Structure 1
């Protein structure tokens, strides 16, 4: 029981900032989601910053009363733990939907985009920036027209409040992070709209138009490359290109986005009052017919490029220069690893399918694979299909992920390796084709220096059918023999499960 009122039932999500529980409000007899923010074990300054950040998250979201934003009901402060009580959404996140069912038709994406644009109009009018719009933070309710909702304002900033400085932390997903945020420049509503554009592209094509095989390549693409718009975009392509303009002033505003998306969602219903309790089914609505291409305006603006600073994530200081970032290919242990995106959405009761593969004893199932991670290591969920584990002493990290197979993996990694040569202290040990359990694979092993510390990285990648899998590690050289044994042991337990985890 939390605050002698909220009875925790089951854990439904976990990420870098805490855990989310399905719970029952005993006083009002309704089901809720309770977000547990753990701050024990931190030094006083970190604990203070975490508490202020959590309370600001709750205040920012509680100020917004809109059907497209998850409602905050209550905040409970218990000293070493904070609890945020939220509306429980019965459904899946857009990220889970894409992993389990694949990309969506353009008409459905138009409807989702229109709902999100209308929610953002309300959010921005309240002086709030979301700052972390991505498929993992878009929830789709399992009823009727599938109400679309924004959640996890964990890094939202109230524009008239003093900004918090999260030393050593870049919160967010590079794939969906606006160029000005990556560069450390001022942000505003156009930054959220850029992330909306990347999210809608992912809904159409399965991934962000800036997703690359490494964190470095992703950051470079966000800053300097044109977006790879999905072929399925069709009449939505001009709007998406405008939203993804490099300069904030070149992007359409939320009113223009709403006008452009309205023809793509002809069956959109007016906003209805939000019930406090309801019974939900698990049906999914069939998509509407494709929109008329002539009805979609073309808010396409010029793109300008700018030399900027690159921020890297994890537990390191943010805002490393491009020249330093180039020494950090896929295996940067504090740069988020390969293609970092999101933790599992906090207010979703997800659905999953039972595994069909024979799993080793103690295996933990993820989206698309299972493995046996070391006991006692810190688990961080980056996306529904990418998970990291860090050793208690911080000298080793393990990562695994699954995604749709694309280009030849060796060719992609060679491109990233060439970029790494532009930096300092990178030394390739090997980058070549190999085998894993008797089938084709690619291995990339190298050394690099980060903030004066030397690291050893090894990545293994392979394709199985339409899916691509990666499992890797990076460790301090002094942990070498034991780190190698740990990696080999965990790698031996890796089991592919397919796109739906079963």
Structure 2
């Protein structure tokens, strides 16, 4: 395709817009309706391993799927045509920059601005889910931003309607590894819940500068990390931290629906606190920030089989499901040990202390602060005695105070309130060769 060519008798090519993994995007003029359009030219020779006929068949089907959706925050698909033997998706043209470009230029966006972008994208994805469409490749490159603050999700060309058979049988997994949900990276089928995780990963990257599991040139190594490793805790998300971690919960059943995500993000964009339910199954593990590498003993229980990106490479990962509980009420799985405060007093504050990882000379702890009372907590403090030989090297999402031999962690300004039934969390890296699980207490100051 070249500038000046006419596609399907009506779309005159103007200029090249960009190149992606699945082909090339052109700006064109629809001479019949006198409007600009974008033409996404899918190229059979781009190394996907598929025959031209297969790609054409798939493009026609995916074009019909994408055309189901008409939403102000989704790029519309107008037509599906062929040109020079290649399938082309004719889409709405939007003068914009991608979220990836804007975030890279700014070094990360403020949480409030990201919440507003996320609310718009979630609205479009919720509408797609209502129509049986799973996007499967939500990422910053596929979120377009205009100068007036409008956000639109694009590239439903790699999505697939729920229940619709896959056209190709190559075992190729569509999606971008850094933004895949862990279950998809491990071989499960993408669904609406994995779109929620990918949206969370997209918003996380817009704030933090990198996706939740970091960056890796080797796609296979990155898929291993996504499928089995804990994510890096957000440091810049402020009041959006709890909501992001809700979207990014490892257990798909623990994530909100896209409709609930839209409502929560809308509230956050308006400066309101969105209630986040406590995890029923606390499987979301937080890892220390890079470059420090820690062992992940006890995280991975086995390896199975799954399809990998663009080459049919096979891997899979299984996580331990149940953990034994000792007589003292502590739960232990590999290096992971948890203890919970006694039943809450009248202010309803409960804390769960979990050793989620350990390595020679150090360990990592995650503490969930839950409000089991009937009124909103307007502040919280978690206290525990620091075992002999241990110390705290680094703390996130809380303020550290020492009181003799006790450690006290208090809320930050952005997580000061915890609604009834809601929760927040903090974490830290500790030093010591044999991490102990101390008794913890939680109170409202």
Name the TM tier (shorter chain): 0.5 to 0.7
Work out which of the residue numbers 189, 200, 203 in structure 2 matches 1:186.
189
Name the CA distance, whole Å, in 2 between partners of 1:240 and 1:42.
35
Conserved in 2, the CA contact under 8 Å of 1:70 and 1:86? Answer: yes
Work out which of the residue numbers 243, 253, 258 in structure 2 matches 1:254.
258
Name the structure, 1 or 2, with higher relative contact order (CA <8 Å, separation 6+). 1
Conserved in 2, the CA contact under 8 Å of 1:74 and 1:86? Answer: yes
Partner of 1:299: 277
The 3 A distance-change label for structure 1 pair 42 and 117 is: closer
Report SS of the residue matched to 1:231: coil
2:317 is equivalent to residue 313 of structure 1: no
The 3 A distance-change label for structure 1 pair 166 and 207 is: farther
Alpha-carbon offset, residue 30 of structure 1: 0.8
More helix by share: 1
Report SS of the residue matched to 2:246: helix
Report SS of the residue matched to 1:192: helix
The 3 A distance-change label for structure 1 pair 222 and 40 is: closer
Work out which of the residue numbers 80, 83, 87 in structure 1 matches 2:88.
83
Partner of 1:160: 163
2:67 is equivalent to residue 71 of structure 1: no
The 3 A distance-change label for structure 1 pair 247 and 262 is: same
Conserved in 1, the CA contact under 8 Å of 2:186 and 2:315? Answer: no
Partner of 2:13: 8
Superposition pairs for residues 83-482 of structure 1, below 5 Å? 83-142=88-147, 144=148, 146-167=149-170, 169-215=172-218, 216-266=220-270, 291=271, 295-301=273-279, 302-304=281-283, 307=302, 308-309=304-305, 311-314=307-310, 316-320=311-315
Q: TM-score of the superposition, structure 1-length normalised?
A: 0.55
Name the CA distance, whole Å, in 1 between partners of 2:50 and 2:124.
34
Where do 5+ consecutive residues of structure 1 fail to align? 267-290, 324-502
The 3 A distance-change label for structure 1 pair 41 and 188 is: closer
Partner of 2:31: 26
Report SS of the residue matched to 2:157: coil
Q: How many residues align?
A: 294
Q: TM-score of the superposition, structure 2-length normalised?
A: 0.61
Alpha-carbon offset, residue 186 of structure 1: 3.2
Report SS of the residue matched to 2:91: strand
Alpha-carbon offset, residue 263 of structure 1: 2.2
Report SS of the residue matched to 2:156: coil
Larger Rg: 2
Alpha-carbon offset, residue 173 of structure 1: 1.2
Conserved in 1, the CA contact under 8 Å of 2:171 and 2:308? Answer: no
Name the CA distance, whole Å, in 2 between partners of 1:19 and 1:44.
17
Report SS of the residue matched to 1:232: coil
RMSD: 2.5
